[in-house]
Amino acid sequence: MSNIVDPLVGRIAARVRTERERRRWTLARLADASGVSQAMISRIERGESSPTAVVLGKLSAAFQLSVASLLALAEGAPDEAAATTGVHRRAEAAEWRDPATGYRRRQVTGPLFPAEIAEIRLPPGARVPYPAAAFAFVRQVVWVLDGHLTFHDGDAVHELGEGDTVELGEPTPRVFANSTDTECRYAVVLTRGTRP
């Protein structure tokens, strides 16, 4: 097991705490709304535990934010040069890694861009479920860049290969799965609808 600390853990901790406090919610209220234990939320807010993608999905759903929005807010504003030029260097991009599955996520666009675009790397055998509420208030397209993605959209299952896209409709529980022996790389393009 690696001793390297994910640089986003502290920023995710601050973002979860800020979102909870902005709503004037107690830990108990967020735990009730999300289905995540108070103890786990407390460890996340103190930066003692890196949340899994599943836990982030539950927390973002409780906040009526997408996981992409919650992580983008945690990643913070780009540096001054990027804000004025729109140039974001790959080497400088923060990458979040799910401690449970090895799923990796990198925000491609900055916070001033009207759509959120993220690059996801889903390892072989990984399966990441999200509740329907994590998709409320957003319009989203998933675009497979490399590999194969098995995408569960409620009861429907879509087998997506390189170049395939799926536009998400009404919120429903969704699962991103890679049942192959090679990594799947895909992009998520998201725009926000009615703000919570």
Do 67 and 104 have their domain in common?
Answer: no
Do 57 and 105 have their domain in common?
Answer: no
Give strand pairing partners of 140.
168, 190
Q: How far is CA 143 from CA 150, 166, 190, in A?
A: 12, 7, 11
Do 32 and 104 have their domain in common?
Answer: no
12 backbone dihedrals φ, ψ, rounded to 5° = -65, -45
Question: Does residue 115 sit within a domain?
Answer: yes
Looking at residue 11, its pLDDT comes to 82
Question: Does residue 1 sit within a domain?
Answer: no
Number of domains the chain is built from? 2
Query: Could you tell me the pTM of the whole model?
Result: 0.75
Give strand pairing partners of 136.
none
Do 148 and 119 have their domain in common?
Answer: yes
Task: Return per-residue pLDDT of the chain as tens, 196 residues.
Answer: 333 445 677 888 888 999 999 999 999 999 999 999 999 999 999 988 888 888 988 898 898 877 777 776 665 544 444 445 577 676 666 788 888 899 998 888 877 778 888 999 999 999 999 888 888 777 899 999 999 999 999 999 999 999 999 999 898 999 999 999 999 999 999 886 654 4
Q: What's the CATH number where 38 sits?
A: 1.10.260.40
Looking at residue 163, its pLDDT comes to 97
Looking at residue 138, its pLDDT comes to 78
Q: How many whole angstroms separate alpha carbon 87 and alpha carbon 40?
A: 37
Is the distance from CB of 165 to CB of 142 less than 8 angstroms?
A: yes
Looking at residue 114, its pLDDT comes to 84
Do 182 and 141 have their domain in common?
Answer: yes
Question: Does residue 49 sit within a domain?
Answer: yes
105 backbone dihedrals φ, ψ, rounded to 5° = -135, 130
Instruction: State both tokens at 52.
Output: 């899994």
Do 26 and 113 have their domain in common?
Answer: no
- What SS3 state is found at 163? coil
- DSSP labels, 56-92: HHHHHHHHT--HHHHHHHHH-PPPHHHHHH----GGG
Is the distance from CB of 94 to CB of 8 less than 8 angstroms?
A: yes
**If residue 168 lies in a helix (H) or strand (E), which one and from where to where?**
strand 165-168
- DSSP labels, 26-38: -HHHHHHHHS--H
Looking at residue 153, its pLDDT comes to 95
Give the structural domain span for 123. 89-192
